[in-house]
A and B are shown apart, each in its own frame.
Chain A
Amino acid sequence: MLMGGPSHLSVLRPILVIREVRALLTLLLIVVFFAFFTGGKYLSVINLVSILNGVYAFGIVAGAMTLLLISGEIDLSVGSVYALSPVIAAILVKRVPGFTIWSAVPLAIGIAAFCGFTNGIITTKGRIPSFITTLGMMMILRGVAFVLSKGQIFGFLPPSVLYTIFGGTVFKWIPVGVIWFPAIIVCLWILLEKTAFGNRTFATGNNKEAARMAGINTDRVKIINFTITGALAGFAGITVLSYLGQAAPQQGMELAFDAIAAAVVGGTSLFGGAGGVIGTLLGAFIVGGVKNGIIIRGAPIFWPEAFVGVIIILAVVLNVWIERKMA
């Protein structure tokens, strides 16, 4: 049932319904805005590389978070997993004889996946809201990261090709993570749009009871999505370890918010059942672009995060409003 409205809106309606289009338009607006206010500095090569650098880590996590959000859950502990995973890898390499980075990384990512799995089990079998589970786990895992590392930052790891693969640079400046990020997004897209599992993720988030009645094991769907989120959060942490050469237990404090903001700006609904990873990819660039723009303008610490907060609220309100108008 289309509501009556000004005629120009109805012309735009079919295009604006597509969330990726909305996200793209927002991105263009942001770029134009900041380019104007920084006299073009924003579009310099150095700055663009800087943006890319900041985006790919939380972008990867945002992609996974998108799937989880679509299935109707959320994960606030990703920042802690992102810190914990490289810390574990670094400790294994430096302190435990017999571990090279090649054996430490899979184990670290495995543990990250297990953290996600635990989130899933507690949420589905304990039947508690995921934001509580992951809020608690966020505290727990961050505490574990600090306890294991005794609060220290790990650096000076023995050199290895692995770091180049996950953290090297292409064409001298561009971090290789910039290739990993879209590659992972594409894999997630295939999973979401082309497989039965993806269909069931949508169904579970849309109407859990109906999905169950249709024979879908909604617990399993959610647990798998949680595990993927954990694993990719750990993977993101490893890419940063590879690039920076150090693991810090306090990194990633705002990762969860950045990832959620990216997904939400990209059009994924916080209520589950609708969304897409392509939108999230654009959303990640929007969030990264805004944070960078604010920093360039010389704003003090915590401003960028404040804007992330504004973005989250605005994006959710807008999406809710648009959904209502389109119905």
Chain B
Amino acid sequence: MPKLNDQVVQPSAKEKLYLLSLRHVLGIREVRALLVFLLMTAFFAYLTGGKFVSVSSVTNMLRYVSAYGVMAGGVTLLLISGEIDISTGSVFPLTAIIAALLVKNIPGFSIWLAAPVAIAIAGLCGLVNGVVTVKGGIPSFITTIGTMLIYRALGYILSGGVWLSGMPPSRFYTIMGGKVLGLIPVGIFWFVGVILCLWVLLEKTAFGNRTFATGNNKEAARMTGINTDRVKITNFIITACLAGFAGILYFSHFGSILPIEGMGAPLDTIGAAVVGGTSLFGGAGGVIGTLVGVFIIAGARIGFVLARLGGYWANILVGSLIIVAVIVNLWLERRVR
């Protein structure tokens, strides 16, 4: 008797045809995101008479992507596990502020030590987000709206509301925030590196599998013995740490930090994840899509400024993109059922 997996089943002609069909290809979220990106690039290239694809504009985009992209990656993981984090934009400057203050005020404390400490504190913020949400039984967007306000206030209090700058020079800043070939911000490599690590975490590890399971069907995940509370809290911590890391990257590149920075981050990062195809309801999504999504959001922002329409048009576009992306993604998901 032939055993079950003995024979390799060749895809039938019909199946092969489907895989090549437009329907299937468009069903892949990364492809859709890429299409949107290409469309947008074409649109802005036209609108700005080609300035959009100039070296300086591309470098600007890469800078933007490096900071917000890292955050968006963490947010993607959290969304897949079924939760959301609006406080990333506050953890972002807070971490940089803490690092800067440690270096400035404690003699002998170098940035090499201060940065990890600050990121660890960011992780603590994520822990608070996670514990309050999971143990308190509150929806995460409420918790993180609350902590967003609290962490931002902390940033103000600690920094006294002023710019923090004038740090003693260190190779640290070059590694985290310098430029390669005099042009390309090093942060972009960090960003891609982080995304790859997150991809591996999500697709190849047991933790990633459990993240999907928790977001897909929390009760069922529990039944199979997955500690959904721990999965979610861990993801909150990861998100906050990455937000802190992004803050350090930003600070290393620009050399200064204002407590008001990052206010648009929650919207832009969630927007990037959603436009990249991650479902707001959890259980589905991917960081590669988010990578494309971040470029889309970055492109929108830079593009409108270049087209002399002002940054607020970008808000209009990003807001609309989020709504449209969610509707389209949802509609497609429903069609599959």
Residue of B nearest to A317 (CB): B136
Give every chain A residue within 8 A of B45 (Cβ-Cβ).
Answer: none
Give every chain B residue within 8 A of A260 (Cβ-Cβ).
Answer: 142, 145
Of B149, B153, B316, B330, most A-chain CB atoms within 10 Å: B149
Give every chain B residue within 8 A of A147 (Cβ-Cβ).
Answer: 310, 312-313, 316
Question: Given the interface contacts A128-B326, A142-B312, does A257 sit within 8 Å of B145 by beta carbon?
Answer: yes
Residue of A nearest to B270 (CB): A135
Q: How large is the interface on A (under 10, 10 to 19, 20 to 34, 35 or more residues)?
A: 35 or more
Q: How far is the CA of A291 from the CA of B45 in the complex (A)?
A: 47
Cross-chain contact A316 with B319 (CB below 8 angstroms): no
Give every chain B residue within 8 A of A312 (Cβ-Cβ).
Answer: 142, 145-146
Q: How far is the CB of B333 from chain A (nearest CB, A)?
A: 11
Cross-chain contact A306 with B310 (CB below 8 angstroms): no
Our pick among A133, A143, A308, A316 for the contact of B312 (Cβ within 8 Å) is A143
**Does A155 belong to the interface (CB within 8 Å)?**
no
Give every chain A residue within 8 A of B280 (Cβ-Cβ).
Answer: 128-129, 132
Q: How far is the CA of A142 from the CA of B318 in the complex (A)?
A: 12
Cross-chain contact A302 with B323 (CB below 8 angstroms): no
Give every chain A residue within 8 A of B274 (Cβ-Cβ).
Answer: 132
Question: Given the interface contacts A136-B322, A140-B320, does A300 sit within 8 Å of B157 by beta carbon?
Answer: yes
Give every chain A residue within 8 A of B138 (Cβ-Cβ).
Answer: 270, 313, 316-317, 320
Question: Given the interface contacts A127-B330, A310-B146, does A132 sit within 8 Å of B157 by beta carbon?
Answer: no
Count of interface residues, chain B, beta-carbon cutoff 8 Å: 41
Q: How far is the CA of A143 from the CA of B318 in the complex (A)?
A: 10
Q: How far is the CA of A270 from the CA of B148 in the complex (A)?
A: 18
Give every chain B residue within 8 A of A303 (Cβ-Cβ).
Answer: 153, 156-157
**Residue interface bits A257-295, CB-to-B below 8 A is 1, else 0:** 100100000000011000000000000000000000000
Cross-chain contact B156 with A302 (CB below 8 angstroms): yes
Question: Given the interface contacts A147-B310, A257-B145, A300-B161, does A137 sit within 8 Å of B319 by beta carbon?
Answer: yes
Give every chain A residue within 8 A of B310 (Cβ-Cβ).
Answer: 146-147, 151
Question: Given the interface contacts A128-B323, A128-B330, A147-B310, does A313 sit within 8 Å of B143 by beta carbon?
Answer: yes
Of A127, A137, A260, A302, most B-chain CB atoms within 10 Å: A302
**Does A184 belong to the interface (CB within 8 Å)?**
no
Q: How far is the CA of A270 from the CA of B133 in the complex (A)?
A: 14
Residue of B nearest to A308 (CB): B149
Q: How far is the CA of A317 from the CA of B131 in the complex (A)?
A: 12
Cross-chain contact B142 with A316 (CB below 8 angstroms): yes
Q: How far is the CA of A185 from the CA of B21 in the complex (A)?
A: 58
Main secondary structure of the interface of B (DSSP, over half): helix
Of A133, A143, A300, most B-chain CB atoms within 10 Å: A143
Give every chain A residue within 8 A of B143 (Cβ-Cβ).
Answer: 313
Q: How far is the CB of A265 from chain B (nearest CB, A)?
A: 12
Q: How far is the CA of A130 from the CA of B143 in the complex (A)?
A: 17
Contacting A at CB under 8 A, from B46-62, are none
Cross-chain contact A257 with B149 (CB below 8 angstroms): yes
Cross-chain contact B146 with A313 (CB below 8 angstroms): yes
**Does A24 belong to the interface (CB within 8 Å)?**
no
Our pick among A143, A270, A300, A308 for the contact of B319 (Cβ within 8 Å) is A143
Q: How far is the CB of B170 from chain A (nearest CB, A)?
A: 30
**Does A138 belong to the interface (CB within 8 Å)?**
yes
Contacting A at CB under 8 A, from B128-150, are 132, 136-139, 141-143, 145-150
Q: How far is the CB of B84 from chain A (nearest CB, A)?
A: 9
Contacting B at CB under 8 A, from A312-326, are 312-313, 316-317, 320
Which chain A residues have a beta carbon within 8 Å of chain B's beta carbons? 122, 126-129, 131-133, 135-140, 142-144, 146-147, 151, 257, 260, 270-271, 300-303, 305-306, 308-310, 312-313, 316-317, 320
Task: Show 22 A/B contacts (Cβ-Cβ < 8 Å), sorted by A.
Answer: A128-B330, A135-B270, A136-B322, A139-B319, A140-B320, A142-B312, A142-B315, A143-B313, A143-B316, A143-B319, A147-B313, A151-B312, A260-B145, A302-B156, A303-B156, A305-B152, A306-B149, A306-B153, A308-B149, A310-B150, A313-B146, A317-B136
Interchain residue pairs A-B with the least CB separation, the first 7? A309-B149, A306-B153, A139-B319, A143-B315, A309-B146, A140-B319, A143-B316
Which chain B residues have a beta carbon within 8 Å of chain A's beta carbons? 132, 136-139, 141-143, 145-150, 152-154, 156-157, 161, 259, 267, 270, 274, 280-281, 310, 312-316, 318-323, 326-327, 330
